[in-house]
Homo-oligomer: A and B are copies of this chain.
Amino acid sequence: MHANGPCKADHNPGRGPTSHPRVQSKLRITFELLAECPQTRARAGLLHTPHGTIETPVFMPVGTQATVKGLTQRDLAGELGVQILLANTYHLFLRPGHELIRRLGGLHTFMSWPNAILTDSGGFQVFSLSGLRKITDEGVVFQSHLDGDLHSFTPESTVDVQLALGSDILMMLDECPEYPVSHEYARTSMERTVRWARQAMAHYRRHATDPSRQALFPIVQGSMFPDLRRACAEALVELEAEGYAIGGLSVGEPRPLSMEMVEAAESILPRSRPRYAMGVGMPAELPEYVARGVDMMDCVLPSRNARNGYLFTSQGRVIIKHARYKDDPAPVDENCRCYTCSGYSRAYLRHLFQSGEILYAVLATRHNLQRYLDIMRQIRQAILSGSFPECLRTFRSASPDAE
């Protein structure tokens, strides 16, 4: 995009000197299973994309508006070793607009991000953020939360928006019902999601320049009813997608129900394809989802909680505003190797937080994301070395309220 001066070779925003060696990327999306736990459903694999290979199971940081709040692309791809991040179609559709991003070369170029990108369909934000909205069998009409303008998403149009963004992994438009709903409503809604999925896949296969270079994931819905989850998964598997998501979790239901829904869907989904549990979870939940066959997760918790003063550590949570940290010279987490913990004290972070300083968000987000990514690396290593059941026991024996 820019002319290169003599100093610029060292300044690639996504690639710091400490960045991880990049596994050779392939030109099409493929999933390679490396190991499966003999006692649980946990798997370790490699998800190859044109923007690099992703080691699974993976946690994907959320970059809602084409930025993970407070971190540079070099922080993310370099020291943190992020191989894939998530961006929100709803937000980018409204501002700056997908057509502008397409003209500027797509989302990777626009935000200077060298690794893979997954975009959601926008449906979830329509339900959670927008003003007036109306769901019909054709799609959803909604009012922008920014200026009140009316827009619509259809199964086809959200594919078009994501093709304009140039995402590596696209998500289909789905309806995410609130919790609780009746079995009847859940069935109607799930069946609509399945119809939309068929339309979306047909549209994608007709309109993507090269459908194998990107992947469109259907989303299993069905509220908290295992029969509906299974029925939905069975219908979606017929689409022969490159991967499958499990949506409609973390909408207020008790955690055992979330796990049961994942189990129901997972029993149907093909072993050879990655499974993505959307919008989960707390640190202690990550190994639980992995134990149920989940390969990909995303959540705003590490970054949002960081900004709100809630830090995750190997010894439990740190609420940084508490007076006990006022003159605490220790790092947030003695066991953490992140930039924040390598040299800044809790006392300094508390001062920054109390003063409303930007650097607080920068340092806190860096730490919390490192914690999530480290947990996932630890889990992956355990799966590869055959010790995942032990790893899971260790996580479970930690105080359930630890993080």
Contact = CB atoms under 8 A, between A and B. Distances in A.
Interface string A86-129: 00000000011000100111000011100000000000000000
B96 A347 contact: yes
Contacts of A2: 330-331, 334, 341-343, 345
Interface residues of A, number: 59
Interface in A324-348: 326-327, 329-331, 334, 337-339, 341-345, 347-348
A104 B358 contact: no
Nearest to A92: B351
A337 B65 contact: no
A13 B343 contact: yes
Query: Does more than half of chain A's interface fall in helix, strand or loop, or is it mixed?
Result: loop
A8 B95 CA distance: 40
A7 B337 CA distance: 6
A351 B18 contact: no
B358 A362 contact: yes
A69 B359 contact: yes
A344 B100 CA distance: 16
Give the number of times this chain occurs in the complex, counting copies: 2
A339 B12 CA distance: 8
A75 to B, nearest CB: 9
B72 A363 contact: yes
Contacts of A18: 10
Contacts of A71: 359
A1 B70 contact: no
A44 to B, nearest CB: 23
A66 interface: yes
Q: 8 tightest A-B contacts by CB?
A: A11-B342, A13-B343, A7-B337, A70-B358, A67-B359, A112-B343, A96-B351, A65-B355
Given A2-B345, A67-B352, 8 more contacts: A2-B334, A2-B341, A13-B343, A72-B359, A95-B351, A103-B327, A104-B347, A110-B345
